[in-house]
A and B are shown apart, each in its own frame.
Chain A
Amino acid sequence: MVRGARFVLAHVPGLVFCGSKPRREFAARDGDLRAMLRRRLRPFSAAVTYPPHQVMLGALAPEALRGIPRPWHLHPIVGAGPEGPAGTMIDEMTFYAWLARADTANLVHFTEEFALRLEGLGVTGRPTALTADRLARALADHGEPLYDRQETTVGVVVPGHEQDEALSAAVLLENLAAKVTGALALSRLLDDAQTPEINYLLGCGEEAVGDRYQRGGGNLAKAIGELAGVRTAGGADVKAFCAAPLHGLLMAGALVASGVHRRVVVVAGGSLAKLGMKFRGHLAADYPILEDVLAGVAIDVVADDGRSPVLRLDTATVHRIEDGVAPHQMAKALTLAPLQAAGLRMRDVDRYAVELHDPDITEPAGSGDVPAGNYQMIAALAAQSGEIARADMPAFVEAHGMPGFSPTQGHIASAIPYLPHAVAGLTGGALTRVQFIAKGSLFLGRMTTMGDGVSVLLERNPAR
């Protein structure tokens, strides 16, 4: 059973400067790019009232976005707050306070003034402060600067080892950011659901935690659990690019269904590297920098409680090595085949949760509307299999799809942002069945040219 899911969005405009694309573009191109980006960073209030973020927090239904004119940042939800039924948004100061708290290796240092401000928040003990002199030296010595939205240096992350690329300051910051956002999501889940005790944590983020001898050693899950105050669980990480959360969900479901564990939580933090990825497109379109949030998730998988939606493990499907990688071949393998095997028609699925990237983020950068493309493909399959006429494809998409709303945080956007809405719809609401479909671009790692994918059905508990 999937009892629920919680998301935490950390609004960190100062960290956009550390994103992979901004970093490389600043280095490669002349001009004012850095200053242009800084001028378009938005304040916390704008991020809170941004409609897609309210959907992530569970305060607004994805379908409601259809009634809001685009681009959505021009139509903030007046009066919306940072707390929603399915998540919380935190500001940059709070994130930095948690970063200090997460820093078990004493690698994160702040300016004296900023350290005092963080101490005042009461999140952490004594954040380490450096004098201006020592800070300057740390920055000159391969340290990674930490900025606020005004690009004022507020601190530094120092390397974990002089000669170890896997422990460079940039990598450590990336991993700490994932640890913090994952722990905050887990914490939020525990606020809403303390019991039963968690037995196992499955990490599913895309960071690589390790050192020179084991670059991808992993098990950030346990570190996340520790930071969130969980003591009863063990953990491990599932590594599968963007498809990892659904692979993790299947494994969590199987562990609980078999009785190995009673409660497993699938967790992930956000991707620092992806901040500001499409900033050039946003600057050109005169948008604010929309990729300014790190997202963390915690998915609660428990034994049958007579209420929570059922994870239909008998419909669990993984993309196999022999399956093709063209979009229609993947859709056939992941969407059509399991439905046919279960004796279901495509219209028997109330909603398809696909890659749910916010199109306002992707379109100005030329990447199109990813969810819409996926729904087109699904509708085309319905037409090809004779279930609907080609002319009915748009109506099928309208009825069974939804606008994208997720930050472009890789594994985070992969179907799971719909989980809180699915759980609500499958318990108190009007839904019977949802198919979750995730895909992973394995070829990016240069070990294969293959892609990957996972799908599974979530259904209303028969007891309801």
Chain B
Amino acid sequence: MVDLKGKLVLALGERDGVPAPTLQKCIESGGGQVIYAATQCFA
């Protein structure tokens, strides 16, 4: 298991995959801190 607690996370999302706000909700609920979040649209 990857322990997210105390980690500083760069959340690189994609609109047609998993977007950044969704990644952020997951990561924060696992104890991580999101320091960068971006969603790529149509790379």
Contact = CB atoms under 8 A, between A and B. Distances in A.
Nearest to A274: B42
Contact of B41 (A326, A373, A444, A450): A444
B16 A325 contact: no
B30 interface: no
A26 interface: no
Contacts of A362: 42
B43 A441 contact: no
Nearest to B26: A326
Contacts of B37: 449
B21 interface: yes
A326 B43 contact: no
Given A441-B41, A444-B41, A449-B37, A370 B22 contact: no
Residue among B16, B20, B42 with max Cβ neighbours from chain A (10 Å): B42
Contact of B22 (A326, A365, A368): A326
Interface of A: 324-327, 362, 365-368, 370, 373, 408, 439, 441, 443-444, 449-451
Contact of A449 (B17, B18, B20, B42): B20
A367 B43 contact: yes
A324 B15 CA distance: 12
Contacts of A439: 15
8 contacts: A326-B22, A367-B42, A367-B43, A441-B41, A443-B19, A443-B41, A449-B21, A449-B39
Contacts of A449: 19-21, 37, 39
Contacts of B43: 365-367
B22 A324 contact: yes
Nearest to A327: B16
Contacts of B39: 441, 443, 449
Contacts of A408: 42
A450 B39 CA distance: 10
**Nearest 7 A/B pairs, CB to CB:** A441-B41, A326-B22, A449-B21, A325-B19, A367-B43, A373-B16, A443-B39
Contacts of B16: 327, 367-368, 370, 373
Q: Is the interface of A mostly helix, strand, loop or mixed?
A: loop
Interface of B: 15-22, 37, 39, 41-43
Contacts of A367: 16, 42-43
A437 to B, nearest CB: 14
Q: Is the interface of B mostly helix, strand, loop or mixed?
A: loop
Contacts of B20: 443, 449
A326 B19 contact: yes
B42 A451 contact: no
A417 B22 CA distance: 30
A158 to B, nearest CB: 32
A439 B17 CA distance: 14
Nearest to A374: B16
Nearest to B16: A373
B16 to A, nearest CB: 5
Contacts of A370: 16, 42
Given A408-B42, A443-B41, 20 more contacts: A325-B21, A326-B19, A327-B16, A365-B43, A367-B16, A367-B42, A367-B43, A370-B42, A373-B16, A439-B15, A441-B39, A441-B42, A443-B20, A444-B41, A449-B19, A449-B20, A449-B37, A449-B39, A451-B15, A451-B19
Contacts of A443: 19-20, 39, 41
A326 B42 CA distance: 15
Residue among A325, A362, A439 with max Cβ neighbours from chain B (10 Å): A325
A444 B43 CA distance: 12
Contacts of A327: 16-18
Contacts of A451: 15, 19
B40 to A, nearest CB: 9
Contacts of A450: 21
A326 B21 CA distance: 8
A13 to B, nearest CB: 22
Nearest to B39: A443
B22 A441 contact: no
B38 to A, nearest CB: 9
Residue among A441, A444, A449, A451 with max Cβ neighbours from chain B (10 Å): A449
Nearest to A443: B39
B15 A326 contact: no
Contacts of A368: 16
A367 B17 CA distance: 11
A327 B15 CA distance: 8
Given A366-B43, A367-B42, A449-B37, A441 B15 contact: yes
A453 to B, nearest CB: 11
A325 B41 contact: no
